[in-house]
Structure 1
Amino acid sequence: MLAAKLKPLVQQIDQEGLYPEAVIRELGQLGAYDAAVTRPFGGRETGLAEQIEITRRIAGYCASTAFITWCQSTSAWYLQHAPNAAAREKFLPAVASGQLLSGTGMSNTVKHLADIERIHLTATRNGDNLIVNGSLPWVSNLGQGHIVIVAARVEDEGYAMFAVDCDQPGLTLKPCPEFSGYEGTRTFNVRFADVQVLADHVLAQPAQFKEFIRRIKPGFILGQIGIGLGVIDASLKIIRDSNLTHEHVNVFLDDQFDELKSELDAYASATGNMSALADTDQSELLPVLQARAAASELSLKATQSAALHAGAKGYLMRHAAQRLLREALFVAIVTPALKHLRKEIHALQNEKQAA
């Protein structure tokens, strides 16, 4: 399916910002988002490691579409572990199957909890419902008929996490400035003006929020590694193909195929092991953060090596090496960005030393 239907669209996705909705929905029908979802909600229950491998295979063709896969499958991850059963039952089967498309707007919250920026959304009570105001600068995989999962500070209570229909009155999607890549992800500035959130849309209330974030954070982070692994796979293919004709000169470059492949295999294996722990809520956060940072670093190294191995052809805009460079940069910038990861890693290492 990927070779037949996604590969022919990659140039349009990258250069024209095509949002491949038909492919995204078909991927859902084929089980691209439900590996870590339990059977009662229509999932396959094969685990987070399988979900990461699916994302990896998609990223080997198009990291933009793999990022949408992460948005969708991570929304399912949130819902699977949501303490509010009403929200889980309302949304999870449709999100896991791709029938309902979902953005995850948790970047601001994750950065806020790491003391990087202030929280952008606030909420007040209206009976059992919430009234939400504020804006998020960019959230992906949105559109008419989609939902977005976000969090807000609830007055005098803490934080709540909830799903909102993109068609909800008071919610506005504003176009973002053009990005250098990932334009085919339907990324918008999301503005909330007295948006009412019903009680059955709330995944976690303030009293549940801290434990809920602890539970879902490892999966949120590990899931992104699949994007990086696929980008590295695609880079290795360029290196291998380039060496068929230019190995006699490419041998003088740093970061050769065998070295990169060895690092990739080690990180992929470690990610699989950590994913099994995340499934059963036994994760240690520090190695998860370190693995995610390593995926960023190796993506940057592998894509640069691919472009150099390709030579002058790798500098052509239509060459895959150019797209991969921009895709890898996103892996290192998307929340948690490499600098964010290093900040949290530093804090946890200091805690361990002080203990």
Structure 2
Amino acid sequence: MIHRLPEEQQALLELVEGFRRETVAPQADRWEREHAFPRPVFDQLAAMDLTGLPFGEDVGGSQIPFATYLMVVEELARGHLAVGLGLSVHTLATWGIDAHATAPQREQLVPALVAGRALGAYSLSEPGSGSDAAAMTTVARRDGEVYRLDGVKAWVTHGGIADRYLVMARTGEAGARGISAFVVDADQPGLTVAAPEQKMGMWASPTAQLVFEDAPVPVDRLIGDEEGTGFRIAMASLDGGRLGIAACATGLAQAALDAALGYAREREQFGRPIAEFQGVSFLLADMATRTEASRTLWQSAADRRDHGFDVTRTAAMSKLFATDAAMQTTTDAVQVFGGYGYTTDFPVERYMREAKVLQIVEGTNQIQRLVIGRQLTGSRG
């Protein structure tokens, strides 16, 4: 469904588009080569009031529709995936706290995240429990006025650079009902961060393990009024996070399409631009169609979310379709460039490497199919 945006939201998107074009995109290759997280850019996002867009005004947010916030994420990812994904992950962690914290916790913990003074991260997976998140073994044992955390969390985006982590740990029985959610600050005693993972792509976005050794986390950092709600918090947060990944994938696909189209118009073979050859123009047509379909799907899901509907299924669909589409579109972009696309002289090889991780993070696309199938059939199998 297409809506005309209010004037102030349209102005916001135009501001972000200029920021993407003038500040983010020109530096993306350098940040990737240097494996440098662009923290100054996030400070600029904070100064532009972009780190708390979908949150309530009572905690300092802008309270804009989630769909409009995702348009911002897409635009930033079009300039550099690490920036768009970084904002999405920050929002994922912040939303998990904001939506489920007690009133005193919300007042204490959320405003700094919304204002961008603190960078957020989300920690659910472990070395032995990725897709089977309920099998986690990190434990939090009550000891007077603290919980003592022991275990290893894995694949944490912003690991080592975040200021505040939303961490799931086991406080009770085996399975989902024994999991609770905690907010852990980066300077928490007993918390160390392992060396960043050496990844195929997304070099400017550090991913690392968190190691907890008898870490005394205060009782008031248990999110909510009781133990055992952590898995529900984690899954509810992922609905929005998966829409964020879909928006990132769409932005990345758009960047690949932009590059391929520009090159095809300039590159000549047999006396004319290669864009005029049917083989190339059909590739471009498919790339554009997939990208627009991805955008339409996540915008529809986000619109449903803004109107109070459950989006577990449509969020999974959006993440599944948009990330598969981005993988195909970036691969096709390399093909349009031919041999040059396989070199680091052009950004499409980076886009292709970056697209792959989007099919994996926040639930592999096989897990998305499982979620969709269960929603359709009512099955638990």
Alignment match, 1:212: 233
* Conserved? CA contact 2:65–2:306, under 8 Å: yes
Contact 1:105-1:148 within 8 A present in 2 as well? yes
Range with bigger deviation, 242-251 or 81-90: 242-251
Using the alignment, how far apart are the partners of 1:352 and 1:153 within structure 2? 26
Query: Do 2:28 and 2:79's aligned partners in 1 also have CA atoms closer than 8 Å?
Result: yes
The aligned runs of 1:195-206 (5 Å cut-off) are 195-204=215-224, 205-206=226-227
Residue 174 of structure 2 corresponds to residue 133 of structure 1: no
In the alignment, what sits opposite 1:169?
189
Partner Cα separation in structure 2 for residue 144 and residue 229 of structure 1: 26
Of 80, 84, 87 in structure 2, the residue corresponding to residue 69 of structure 1 is 87
CA distance in 2, matches of 1:248, 1:51: 34
- Report the TM-score, using the length of structure 2 for normalisation: 0.84
Q: TM-score, normalised by structure 1?
A: 0.90
Alpha-carbon distance in structure 1 between the residues aligned to 2:325 and 2:257: 11
1:145, 1:274 → 2: CA distance?
Answer: 29
What is the aligned counterpart of 2:206 among 176, 186, 195? 186
- In structure 2, C-alpha distance between the alignment counterparts of 1:99 and 1:17, rounded to whole Å: 23
SS at match of 2:183: strand
**What is the CA-CA distance between 1:216 and the residue it aligns to?**
2.7
Deviations 1:48-82 (A, max 9, x none): 11221111111111101222111112122212212
Alignment partners' CA distance in 2, 1:257 and 1:199: 55
- Report what 1:58 is aligned to: 76
CA shift for structure 1 position 272: 1.9
Unaligned runs of 5+ in 1: none
Q: Secondary structure at the match of 1:98?
A: coil
**CA 1:108–1:51 in 2, change beyond 3 Å: closer, same or farther?**
farther
Query: Take 2:161 and 2:280, find their aligned partners in 1: how far apart are those partners?
Result: 48
CA distance in 2, matches of 1:139, 1:214: 16
Partner of 2:50: 32
Quote how far apart the aligned CAs of 1:155 are.
2.9
Structure 1 position 85 matched with structure 2 position 112: no
Whole-Å Cα distance in 2 between the matches of residues 261 and 140 of structure 1? 29
Change (3 A) 1:141 1:85: same
> Over the residues paired in the alignment, what is the CA RMSD in angstroms?
2.5
Quote the offset at 1:253 in angstroms.
Answer: 4.5
Would the alpha carbon gap of residues 247 and 286 (structure 1) be closer, same or farther in structure 2, given more than 3 Å must change? same
Report the Cα distance in structure 1 between the residues aligned to 2:324 and 2:160, rounded to whole angstroms. Answer: 32
Distance verdict in 2 for CA 1:248–1:140, change over 3 Å: closer
The worse-fitting range, judged by mean Cα deviation, of 99-108 and 197-206 is: 197-206
- The answer on whether the counterparts of 2:121 and 2:162 sit within 8 Å (CA) in structure 1 is no
Distance 1:46 1:151 in 2: 28
* Matched residue SS, 2:153: strand
1:264 and 2:263 are equivalent in the alignment: no
Q: Which moved more, 1:150-159 or 1:328-337?
A: 150-159
Contact 2:334 2:341 in 1 (8 A): yes
After superposition, give the CA deviation of every residue in 1:318-348 in whole Å (9 maximum; x if it has no partner). Answer: 3110110011011112121212222333333
Task: Within 5 Å, give how 1:93-104 maps onto structure 2.
Answer: 93-104=111-122
| Equivalent residues, number | 352
1:183–1:166 distance in 2 versus 1, CA, 3 Å? same
Report the secondary structure of 1:184's partner residue.
Answer: coil
Q: 1:22 aligns with which of 28, 35, 40?
A: 40
Is structure 2 residue 136 aligned with structure 1 residue 119? yes
**How much has 1:213 moved relative to structure 2?**
4.2
Residues 108-133 of structure 1 deviation map (CA, whole Å, 9 limit, x = unaligned): 49x66x63673041111123432111
Unaligned runs of at least 5 residues, structure 2: 1-18, 267-272
Contact 2:55/2:63 (<8 A) preserved: yes
Provide the rounded CA distance (Å) in 2 between the counterparts of 1:122 and 1:163. Answer: 14
- CA offsets 1:143-179 (integer angstroms, 9 cap, x no match): 3671111101103472111111111110001103411
How many Å separate the matches in 1 of 2:198 and 2:139?
28
Query: Superposition pairs for residues 39-50 of structure 1, below 5 Å?
Result: 39-50=57-68
Contact 1:86–1:200, Cα closer than 8 Å, also in 2: no
**2:242 alignment partner AA:** I
Q: In the alignment, which residue of structure 1 is the partner of 2:164? A: 147
Identity across the alignment (%): 19
2:356 to 329, 342, 346: 329
